[in-house]
Every structure is written in structure tokens, then in C-alpha cells.
Chains A and B, each alone.
Chain A
Amino acid sequence: MRGFGQVTEQLRRSTVQVSSGGRRAFGSGVVWSPDGLILTNAHVARHGAALVELWDGRSFPARVMARDPRRDLAALRIAAADLEPAAPGDSAAVRPGELVIAVGSPLGFAGALSTGVVHSVGAIPGMGSQSWIRADVRLAPGNSGGPLADAHGRVIGINTAILNGLGIAAPVNEAAAFLARGPRPSLGVTLSPVSLGLAILEVDPGSAAEAASLRPGDVLLISLEALGKALDSGREALRLPFLRGDGARVRETMVRLEARAVAA
């Protein structure tokens, strides 16, 4: 049987301190693979480069491989070997009330531990359609990017924010999807909900929407929620029905979405 002390010690060894941007702004990160892949928050790794300090005090320059600001996730790579990676859990199986352990560098104290329970799991108004883990656990700035783990020490989330005192963590399954498929693809449009669906206000140059010949003024016949799900599904192309001009007939376009794996 593994005691609490062993569970937390293991977790500490898989947690790193991340600094980026020169000023003494610290975040945390999770060692994902023995050969130097580190997972953290996009808001912790704001720039192309960062500095990663391991639990044993060694520090390495890190390259930011990918960022997904919408899910607030970033992947870093350091030139190190034989790291102790965290064991990922299954965030889809997380239940309110279960015990959680957070490790990170709150206010710069490396390796600090806090414990609590899962408060709830679900969408948060104003934070997109995806699901987040809310935890009744004391976090502070500096915990960002660090692991939220279950009673086995398996990582179930990446601590991301503090909202009304609750810790907010990105579910680890989202993080795994981010590493496997890259940042969540986007259409590259500005949308406004209308009664029929979503009206396109702007199309970014070079975007997937532009390549699919979508124009401002077109109305996509899909709800925001359904579109978000489709973009999250990992499919490489989306068939989107839309209306143009007088809306006399329903047109259709194929949008090709870029897929880029990070964790290769």
C-alpha cells in the first residue's frame, strides 16, 4: 500500500516550476514524458521560450512547442532525459466529493501541496463550452500549470485559475487531446448568434474559413455549441451548411482543419 507521503512525493517529482517573461513570474508545470515534454498553462508560457526548474533544482531552457489560449494549455520541451513523468488519470471519471491533491509553486514556494475535494465538474459561464474541474482546494498564483491529482496521485487536471475561491483545472483528457492533436482548430471567423445560426462578421486572412470561401455576411446553420463540439471532435474536415445573400437556398462548404500533433 502506498501512503499519502509517497503519493505526494511522486507527484512533487513530476511537478516543475516554469518562469517566462523575465520578471519573477512563476508558474508550474507537469512532466509528461521522461524525455522532456512539459505541460503547463498558455498564460504561464506567454513567450517562445521559458525556464523550467525540476524538483531536484536542475533548470533547463524550454522551447514552447504549442499554445492553445482557448483551453489555456501549452506544451514545452526541455533537453533532459530520465525525468519522472506524472501518471495521467481519466478526467471523465472524476466525481464531486473525491479527494484531490494540488502541487505547484503558489507565490513562488516550489513543491507546495494543498488538498481538498472535487467541488463540481462542468461548463463555467464565460469560459467557453468545455467542461472544467472545480476544486475545493486552496490555490494561489503560481499554482497555474501544475497538477491536480486524485487520491492515487494520478493527474486529473491542470490547475488554471481561481474563481470565487475555487480552483479551476483544465481536465487532463483535454490536455491529452491538445498534445495529440495540437491546439484546438479554429475557423478564423468572428461570429454573432442570430435566430437561424451564426452570422459571420469577419473572416481572418489565411484562415480555414477563407480557404473554404466563407465570406462576411454568410450565416452558418449551426449552433455555437454544436460548432464547438465539431471543432473539438478531432475531425480533419467539417461540412458546414450556410446561407448567403437572400438565403434562397442552403449552400454547403467543406472546411479543412489543420491538425498538428505536439507529443510526437
Chain B
Amino acid sequence: MANELAAISVELASVTARAGQAVTAVHARPRFSSSGVLWRPGVIVTAEHTIRREEDITVTLPGGNTVPATLAGSDAGTDIAVLRVEAEGPPLAMAGEPAPGDLALAIGRSQDSGVNATLGIVSAVSGAWRTWRGGRLDRYIRLDLTLYPGSSGGLVVNVAGEALGMATSALSRIAGLAIPAATIDRVLDEILATGRVARGYLGVGLQPVDLPGHRKGLIVLSVGEDGPAARAGVLIGDILISLDGAGVSDTEDIQHVLDAHAIGRSVEAVVIRGGESRKLPVTIGERPRRD
């Protein structure tokens, strides 16, 4: 009674079992555990939004035993948290460029029932994308599959079992995303080196406005107390038209400049105040930690 459907079914179950060898359960919040991926020897990546405590974190390994883990650091912007644990998984095979329509499995784990899987497709792929939490993903990989409580932090693989990234339900309201491997590697390196991901900061609240002559700018609505902008003499009501030599018309333009320059560097801001333009040197600061 063998049929093609049965062959596909066997293949999906085999991919799940294989990929599951790199997937752990993570116990760092009440009620629901989440999932994590043994990304490198001794290192688990998981979804930052599922980490609700910094101590007494444990993980259930693919073998079934539950061991303590320590939080090495996290980045809310990209929803990545890094745990250190005395364990290692099989080497992860990385997928090439995903395409919309590719079948994808989200592999998770829970203590009670072991490995788990959901099936769907990659529904959209585009270039670098900024999350609503301010982080930058190297690719936007939208998933058309159901992420249940506990799925976040799990491994997203294609039907060959190659990693597309880590599953998260927290970065988009309309769909689950796969945080791409390139982003995980980049954030992981920075967290392992410094314990955190530093983000550039000006300390201003901005709103796009139209200027005469079809030009655009960003009006300063608030200035953070003792922030980099305040120290540079920026005032509420100033209209920012250029930063580091490039015109700015959207807050995304500001993020580009902040991404491109190391903290501590000085850039030139051009503002319009009282109908006249002024040049103000601003030293990029580091965004204060939310906690």
C-alpha cells in the first residue's frame, strides 16, 4: 500500500527526528517551556521573549535529561538569547537561500513529550528587515506555519533538514518568522564577546515632516535628558535634515547611520532652527538597556 504520500510522511518524520537532535526544551518562564537550538558546542540560542528569568534556567536535552544553563546574554531587538550549557548537538547543516513556497518544518521540544514538529511553507522572503523592536534581521523569512506556545526558539528546517533559522512568534503580528542563521551568528558572536548587543543612540524622538520645496525632514519632538543629542545642543522643535552628510526623511535613515557607525564616533547633524540651518556635531551614544 506504499504511496508517494507515505514516502513523504516517512521523510518528514526522519527529518524531524534528525533535526530534533539539535533542539532542546528551555525552561525559563512560568507555564510553558520554549525551545532552543544547540547552535554551537556548549551554546544554545533561543527566543529572547521566552526568557522571563535570569537564574534557575534549565534545558531538556535531546537525550531527555534536564540540565542547568546560564544566560550569556540576550538581544531583544532580534529576539535572540544565548545560553551556555555543557552539551553539544550534531553539526548543523545550513540551508541556502530560501524561496517562497519551500516546505518548512519548525522543530521544538518539550520535557513531557519530546521533540515536536509543525509543517508549513516559507511564505515570503526579502532582504534585510528591521524589527519593531529595533533589531536588524539579515533576511526577512516569513513562515506560513503554526507556532504553538513552546515552538518559539525552535529550529526551522527545510525538507532536507537544513537550517533556515530559529522560529519566533514575537517579531510579527501576522506570521511566525525564521531568524536567519547569519543574524544568529552575528548576534551570537557579539553576545559571547561582550554579553550584549550595543545599539547606537541619539536620544531624540522624531517625526517626519514636509518642508517647502518638496523636501522632507524630521522634527524633534523630544530630547532625552543628558542624551547625545541634548549634549550636542539639539532642541525640541529643531528639524533634522541631514545626518553624517546624508539627507534624512524617515527614522529608518537615522537607524542606517546608527548601524553604520561605532558608538563614540562623532557625526555631523544639520538642523533647521528658526528658518536657518545649523551644523551640530553629535557623538553617537549607546542605547540604554531597558531593564
Report A-chain residues with C-beta under 8 Å of the C-beta of B177: none
Given A2-B1, A97-B12, A152-B1, are A121 and B118 also a contact pair (CB < 8 Å)?
Answer: no
Residues of chain B within 8 A (CB-CB) of A125 are 112
Segment among A102-110, A111-119, A183-191 that sits at the interface with chain B: A111-119
Asked if A97 and B3 sit within 8 Å, CB to CB, the answer is: no
Q: Which residues of A contact B70 (CB under 8 A)?
A: none
**Are A98 and B9 in contact, with the CB atoms below 8 A?**
yes
Residue of B nearest to A117 (CB): B119
Report the Cα distance A119→B114, complex, angstroms. 10
B105:A134 contact, CB within 8 angstroms: no
Total interface residues on A, CB under 8 Å, equals: 28
Total interface residues on B, CB under 8 Å, equals: 31
Chain B hits for A164, CB < 8 A: 148-149
Bound-complex Cα distance A1 to B110 (A): 37
| Min C-beta distance of B43 to chain A, whole Å | 25
Q: Does B65 contact A (CB under 8 A)?
A: no
Q: Are B13 and A98 in contact (CB under 8 A)?
A: yes
Residue A99, interface by CB 8 Å: yes
Q: How far is the CA of A136 from the CA of B145 in the complex (A)?
A: 9
B117 & A119 in contact (Cβ 8 Å cutoff): yes
Residue of A nearest to B6 (CB): A151
Q: Chain B, 235-250, contact with A by CB distance < 8 Å: what is the 0/1 string? A: 0000000000000000
Q: What are the residues of chain B within 8 A of A4 when measuring CB–CB? A: 3, 5
Please report which residues of chain B, range 61-104, place their CB below 8 angstroms from some CB of chain A when the two chains form the complex: none
| B107–chain A nearest beta-carbon distance, Å | 8
Q: How far is the CA of A118 from the CA of B149 in the complex (A)?
A: 16
Q: How far is the CA of A123 from the CA of B15 in the complex (A)?
A: 23
Residue of A nearest to B145 (CB): A136
Does residue B207 face the partner (Cβ distance < 8 Å to A)?
Answer: no
Bound-state Cα–Cα, A4 to B148, Å: 27
Do A7 and B146 form a contact, CB below 8 Å, given A119-B116, A119-B117, A134-B116?
Answer: no
Give CA–CA (A134, B112) in the complex, Å. Answer: 12
Task: Digitize B9-25: 1 where CB-to-A-CB distance is under 8 Å, 0 elsewhere.
Answer: 11011111100100000
- Residue of A98, A117, A119 ringed by the most chain B CB atoms within 10 A: A119
A97 & B105 in contact (Cβ 8 Å cutoff)? yes
In the complex, the chain B residue whose C-beta lies closest to that of A99 is B9
A7 to B1, CA, bound (A): 10
Which residues in A have some Cβ–Cβ distance to B below 8 Å? 1-4, 7, 95-99, 116-125, 134, 136, 150-152, 164-166
Q: List 9 A-B contacts (CB under 8 A).
A: A2-B3, A95-B16, A98-B13, A99-B5, A118-B13, A122-B114, A124-B112, A136-B118, A166-B148
